[in-house]
Amino acid sequence: MSLITKKRAQARLAYMLVLPAVLLIFGIYVLPIITVFGISFTDYSLVSNYFEFIGLGNYRQMLTDEAFGNALRNTLIYAGLFLPSSFFISLFLAIAIQERKQFRSILEVLYFLPVTSTLAAMALVWAALMDSNQGVINLWAGAIGLGPFNWLGSETMVLLSMALISLWSVIGFNMVLFLAGLTAIPANLYEAAAIDGADHPVDKFFRVTWPMLGPTSMFVAVTSSITAFKLFDTVAILTQGGPNRSSEVFLYLTFLEGFEYFNMGYSAALSLVFLGIIFLFALVQALFVDRNVQY
């Protein structure tokens, strides 16, 4: 067999081998995105066979839709509560655990356990704990003279409660990421720092740990942001957007529009905006993590 035909045969084999994966990705991701993209320009509704092309109508509707503004605001408030705390608490825990010699692996497992649980099921447990009348949390808070708090029933508290539940479920994961980042910092950098006089914990943190954790921090921040915007299951199970739509977040609104009000066209447009936001975060990560934070 000549070299060229052999090369061609090899190329053909290669294409055949990637074909199943390409088809799957196309069928599961690309095709639905294109479909949703198409639907978002129509007034397609689940309850009617008739639909027509309305151009940018759905997107124009968002600008004036009070529910859209409400959902966006709720999502941002929730993200504002969830993001910094999920980042800094897990960083703090990771540093605290890493410096321990005993119990390190036990603590790691304990903090990681919530990640392995099913959030939908755990949400119900949290609902019981946070119950305003019989909940254990209010009982304890009362014991030290606080509360009672209306965790899930108050418009001002419900987003905080959602953030707390998400924190509980995600901290272990972020902590493990940070631990991996910390372990990757060469020990002799700390030794060099000690000789250079940077042996105070504050100096060690700002001169060595924090800068060396750059790529990990970026990754944690971006994945946490995406998690924050994806808030759905706890809302759907515990509050259904209430009370008075104060926990109606972006993804939940999309779900409501599509499957409660049957406005598929509008829902598709919301989905695309959501996709755009996630894409933005992914882009930030791709640009900064892969280039700027490299040494």
The site for other proteins (CB under 8 A) is made up of 186, 188-189, 191-200, 202-203, 206-208, 211-212, 214, 295
State how far the Cα of 282 lies from the Cα of 289, in Å rounded to an integer: 10
Q: How far is the CB of 164 from other proteins (least distance, A)?
A: 29
Nearer to other proteins, 214 or 243 (CB): 214
Smallest separation, CB 199 to other proteins (Å): 6
**54 or 193: whose CB is closer to other proteins?**
193
The overall longest dimension of the chain from CA atoms, in Å, is 86
Q: Judged by CB, which is closer to other proteins: 54, or 293? A: 293
Q: Are 209 and 185 in contact (CB under 8 A)?
A: yes
Minimal distance, residue 209 CB to other proteins, in Å: 11
Query: Least separation, in Å, of the C-beta of 186 and other proteins?
Result: 7
Based on CB atoms, which residue is closest to other proteins, 81 or 212?
212
Bridge partners of residue 1, in order along the sequence: none
Nearer to other proteins among residue 197 and residue 276 (C-beta): 197
Burial of 13 (0-12, 13-18, 19+ CB in 10 A): exposed
53 DSSP β-pair partners:
42
Rounded least distance, CB 70 to other proteins, Å: 36
Q: Is 199 helix (H, G, I), strand (E, B) or coil?
A: coil
* Shortest CB 158 distance to other proteins, Å: 35
Query: What does the alpha-carbon distance between residue 275 and residue 250 come to, in Å, rounded to a whole number?
Result: 11
Neighbouring residues of 176: CB distance < 8 A, sequence distance ≥ 6: 94, 108, 112
| Dihedral-angle region of residue 262 (phi above 0 means left; psi in -120 to 50 means alpha; beta otherwise) | left
Q: Which is nearer to other proteins, 220 or 256 (CB)?
A: 220
